Chains A and B, each alone.
Chain A
Amino acid sequence: MATAQSVFLSGIVLGSLYAMMATGLSLVWTTLGIFNFAHGIFMAVGALVAWQVGTDLGWGLGPAAGLAIGVAVLVGIGFLSELVVVRPFLARRDVVLIAVITTLSASIFFENGTLLIWGARYKQLEPLIPGKVDLLSTAISAHEVLIIVIAPLTLVLLWLFLKFTRIGSAIRAVSQNRESALLMGMNVSLLYSSAFALSAGLAGLSGILLGSVRFITPSLGAEPLVKALIVAIFGGLGSLGGTIGAAYVIGLLEAISVYFIGLYWTPALLFGVMILVLLVRPTGLFGRKG
């Protein structure tokens, strides 16, 4: 019985992280129509900045300051990255392909940049809240509980922002009809950079939360990025609710599979499930038609 509960909790933790990552990916996909392959390295950079700012080996300002500054820096990096690697190619018809190359290049650039600045030694963040908590009669670290709470909270805030603010509705609008957005006087380029910045901020936050569960290396985000990609496709590209739902389904599936089948075959299983779902429902599990 206790096993089922701990598998469930571990699935929810994974799902929460995937939800934040995949939502960031999905936001860029719906708004700009491209996939950002630097999303994974953004996670690592976020964690490293938080490490530099927060831990005693860095500047020692504490985990909360690390979190805040880490996310802020990532928002800035996202904004600039859009300007440099996406903006110049947006008018081109093959922008989707070009963006694969440019965002991958950006990702390599950041990977080597982090190695240059922080070296190859593994690092870890202190948990934001130390200690253990009993949840569903399972001992779980307080930090993981925090992940379970922060993820939905962040996504609700994101939803409120997109639904009820002027800039948020404009971001949704520009993804649906660029020409109309222009004719209404929207600053389309600024909206694109904002969406990218927001997405990078989400990546940074996920990286920082993950950085005290796993070791921080430049490839911290690589494996979660693949999962987030599965989630985004599985959930139906572009639907925020679908992406979040799919994140928890994949998280739980992964936890169950890791427990019963093992770590080795789990990625294969996840890809298998994704292919099966796409065979039956080409628009994704929760995706809309057309």
Chain B
Amino acid sequence: MAQPILEIDDLVTGYGRTQVLWGVTLALNEGERIGLFGPNGHGKSTLLKTVSGLLKPWRGAIRLNGESIGGVQPRAVVDRGLIHVPQGNVLFPQLTVVENLRLGAYARRARAEREPNLARVFELFPRLAERRRQLSRTLSGGERQMLAIGVGLMGAPKLLMLDEPTLGLAPKLKDELLDAIGKISRVGVPLVLVEQDVEFLVALTDRLYMINHGAVALDIASTDRLDHGEIMQMYFGKG
């Protein structure tokens, strides 16, 4: 089998003295989209932050295309094409939509493709094109989420990690984002998607990992039919 794009091996980390991850092991293969779900506060966001270099791993390995990236600067991770769109991202509230997007292509490797990518983002999210001159703090929650994903795309990702892109959004907006993320992954961008909503994940990913107590509790193919009861059981244990 080919080498995985992203490989996380027995990763342990936390904040200060508080340990959050207790040995996470997972892999993302070529052309694959994986989903992470599980209860709040069990380490999903922490995992993404460690991969993107915001947090240093205490132990364990992170490899991108076979190269170790554990503990390097965020900008070295971005330079390798791994883009992390964090949760509840407010971006740069006092900058306009188009300024935010252009800064998304700050990394050297994304700069050459900046204007074509900008056109692509506006095509994907026409609403951002309409609001391009507005300060981003004036956007609605859904539009902000679109902007956050758009900024991620401006970085010309070879691997995109989205942290709860639908947090707190109305169902209609959720569908819109589901559409957009589907389009992104269909052009072949591998995806790591964190979500509470398992149905959303099933629609967009090939494989699911459940993160519980800072470790992978379950590794399942999204094509397996999951019913509501099973998910409840995963969250809360057998009643």
Q: Which residues of A contact B54 (CB under 8 A)?
A: 179, 182-183
Q: Which of the candidate stretches B3-11, B83-91, B171-179 sits at the interface with the other chain? A: B83-91
Q: Which residues of B contact A172 (CB under 8 A)?
A: 92, 94-95
Q: Which of the candidate stretches A115-123, A184-192, A247-255 sits at the interface with the other chain? A: A184-192
Beta-carbon contacts under 8 Å, B1-60 to A: 52-54
Q: Which residues of B contact A80 (CB under 8 A)?
A: none
Q: Which residue of chain B lies nearest to A184 when distances are taken between CB atoms in the complex?
A: B106
Q: Which listed residue, B53, B94, B99, B103, touches A184 by the CB 8 Å rule?
A: B103
Cα separation A169 to B100 with both chains bound (whole Å) = 9
Give the contact-size bracket for chain B.
20 to 34
Q: Which residues of A contact B151 (CB under 8 A)?
A: 180, 184
Q: Which residues of B contact A186 (CB under 8 A)?
A: 75, 103, 106
Known A-B contacts A169-B99, A173-B103; the reply to A185 vs B155 at CB < 8 A is: yes
Q: Which residues of B contact A176 (CB under 8 A)?
A: 92-95
Q: Which residues of B contact A177 (CB under 8 A)?
A: 90-93
Is residue A92 contacting chain B, with contact meaning CB distance below 8 A?
no
Is residue A128 contacting chain B, with contact meaning CB distance below 8 A?
no
Q: Which of B85, B102, B103: most chain A CB closer than 10 A?
A: B103
Q: Which residues of B contact A182 (CB under 8 A)?
A: 53-54, 74-75
Q: Tell me the smallest distance from the CB of A151 to a CB of chain B, in Å.
A: 24
Count of residues in A whose CB is under 8 Å from the partner chain: 15
Cα separation A185 to B90 with both chains bound (whole Å) = 17
Are the CB atoms of B74 and A169 closer together than 8 Å? no
Are the CB atoms of B91 and A180 closer together than 8 Å? yes
Are the CB atoms of B106 and A185 closer together than 8 Å? yes
Q: Which listed residue, A166, A170, A180, A185, touches B89 by the CB 8 Å rule?
A: A180
Known A-B contacts A172-B92, A176-B92, A176-B94; the reply to A183 vs B99 at CB < 8 A is: no
Q: Which of A173, A179, A182, A185: most chain B CB closer than 10 A?
A: A185
Are the CB atoms of B92 and A183 closer together than 8 Å? no
Q: Which residues of A contact B91 (CB under 8 A)?
A: 177, 180
Q: Tell me the smallest distance from the CB of A261 to a CB of chain B, in Å.
A: 39
Cα separation A180 to B95 with both chains bound (whole Å) = 13
Cα separation A169 to B102 with both chains bound (whole Å) = 10
Are the CB atoms of A183 and B103 closer together than 8 Å? no
Cα separation A185 to B85 with both chains bound (whole Å) = 12
Q: Tell me the smallest distance from the CB of B216 to a CB of chain A, in Å.
A: 24
Is residue B167 contacting chain A, with contact meaning CB distance below 8 A?
no
Are the CB atoms of A169 and B95 closer together than 8 Å? yes
C-beta contact mask, B119-149 vs A, less than 8 Å → 1, else 0? Answer: 0000000000000000000000000000000
Known A-B contacts A169-B99, A169-B102, A179-B86; the reply to A185 vs B92 at CB < 8 A is: no
Cα separation A172 to B103 with both chains bound (whole Å) = 11
Known A-B contacts A166-B106, A185-B107; the reply to A180 vs B86 at CB < 8 A is: yes
Are the CB atoms of B106 and A183 closer together than 8 Å? no
Are the CB atoms of A170 and B78 closer together than 8 Å? no
Q: Which residue of chain A lies nearest to B78 when distances are taken between CB atoms in the complex?
A: A185
Q: Tell me the smallest distance from the CB of A236 to a CB of chain B, in Å.
A: 13
Q: Tell me the smallest distance from the CB of B94 to a CB of chain A, in Å.
A: 6
CB pairs A–B below 8 angstroms (21 shown): A169-B99, A169-B102, A170-B103, A170-B106, A172-B92, A172-B95, A173-B103, A176-B92, A176-B93, A176-B94, A180-B86, A180-B92, A182-B53, A183-B83, A183-B84, A183-B85, A184-B107, A184-B151, A185-B79, A186-B103, A187-B75
